[in-house]
Amino acid sequence: MIHLNENFTKLKASYLFSDIAKQVTAFTQANPDKPVIRLGIGDVTEPLPPVCIAALHAATDEMAHRATFKGYGPEQGYAFLREAIAQNDYAARQCPIEADEIFVSDGAKCDCGNIQEIFSLDTRLAIPDPVYPVYIDTNVMAGRTGPSVDGRYQGVTYLDSTPANGYVPAIPSVATDLIYLCFPNNPTGAVATKAQLAEWVAYAKKNQAILLYDSAYEAYIRDPQIPHSIYEIPGARDVAIEFRSFSKTAGFTGTRCAYTVVPKSLQAFDAAGKAHSVHALWNRRHTTKFNGVAYPIQKAAAAIFTPEGKQQVKDMTDFYLGNAALIRAAVAKLGFSCVGGDNAPYIWVNTGRDSWEFFDMLLTKAQVVCTPGAGFGKCGEGHVRISAFNSRANVETALARIAAALK
């Protein structure tokens, strides 16, 4: 008889965004005359930057000729892309990261979800609440937690992000081994200062722990004091892995390209206390389970590092931040407090009401989709997340409808 991995039965029946999509589909089927505006899942709406389109066309033409055709590429990514990332995202910010410490992949979601495989099952986890569900769900699947009791998996140290701490969690008072951090934060849009990140680096050093730093939204940072990378903190390359994505930076949610930085100085220990290179282990996993991102997609990704590409990315992220500013202003006018939206494409609204009820009210009365905060964890209750990813016209219409629904 085939037995299943019973850890999967500890999970909620479906993934947060699948749940929401089902509810929205049911509403639109029942109300075909009421067009819905989606400010829920953070999916981009604007076309790829022109430099990416040109690079895609040129690379596709290369694939049409024997002399320039490409089959399997290096699993870790082509050197042209890894070097462009190392130069522009790291050297330019004085971060000591080499091109061969960068692993190109088809998504930060997959990498954030897969990275836990290389750590032992008794790894002590520290996970923010609210949180991007992938971090916790993949650890539940692996069997690194107990069952969920009262909305929290047993055995996990939760890092509460609340109005009281400005949605930036404090360092835990207990030792943990693997700590998930995300700044600018999904879902709250909160950012961390260099001083705050330096405390996490010191904590990780003290506990021989590893920080998993998700900076998928760094392109939205406008405050020059806010770090874009964990490697801007001295010593971080000895204790941190960083996840980045072209999805929200350059509109690649459907195109798929991301990367993970695993410094060669990062170590994890076996049961006997012997140190092993995490870079070597991730490389082993990556080459076994992944065959690289398509060549034309990597060419399109590399194009964002050209001078025109940088300007086009800035224009695109400025555009979404313009939406975010409108959302923040409208939310404030309605009397709600909120964070995010200034250095992030998400606005985290403190509604003070049941978050699924608020979601339902916005869907049925305003035909606007948001994300209920409780879907991101217990501390998300009483909040909703509004995404700035949509056209200007849709954002303006959505805000007018929300204001009318809440009158």
Contacting residues toward ligand MLT, per CB under 6 A: 41-43, 109, 132, 186
- The distance of closest approach from Cβ of residue 20 to ligand MLT in the complex, given in angstroms and rounded to an integer, is 10
Comparing CB distances to ligand MLT, the nearer of 248 and 328 is: 248
Bridge partners (DSSP) of residue 113 are none
CB 129 within 8 A of CB 159: yes
> Residue 282 or 346: which CB sits closer to ligand MLT?
346
In the complex, what is the shortest distance from the CB of residue 378 to ligand MLT, in angstroms, rounded to a whole number? 18
Task: Read off the tokens for 299.
Answer: 């060419």
Using alpha carbons, list the distances in angstroms from residue 143 to 63, 115, 125, 354.
Answer: 43, 14, 12, 30
Minimum CB distance to ligand MLT, residue 278 (Å): 24
Q: From the CB of 186, what's the least distance to ligand MLT, in Å?
A: 5
Cβ closer to ligand MLT: 48 or 268? 48
Question: Which among 368, 334, 364, 369 has a CA at the least distance from the CA of 351?
Answer: 334
Q: Which helix (H) or strand (E) holds 104?
A: strand 102-105
Identify which of residues 237 and 248 has a Cβ nearer to ligand MLT in the complex: 248
CA distance 336 to 227: 28
Helix (H, G, I), strand (E, B) or coil at 329: helix
Quote the least distance from Cβ 132 to ligand MLT, whole Å: 6
What's the min distance (Å) between Cβ of 253 and ligand MLT?
7
- Given a contact cutoff of 8 angstroms between Cβ atoms, the answer to whether 282 and 262 are in contact is yes
Among the listed residues 269, 268, 243, 270, the one whose alpha carbon sits nearest the alpha carbon of residue 257: 243
Q: Nearest residue to ligand MLT, using CB?
A: 42
Alpha-carbon distance of 49 to 304, in angstroms, equals: 8
Q: Which is nearer to ligand MLT, 43 or 75 (CB)?
A: 43
DSSP state of 8: G
**Closer residue to ligand MLT, CB minimum distance, 119 or 132:** 132
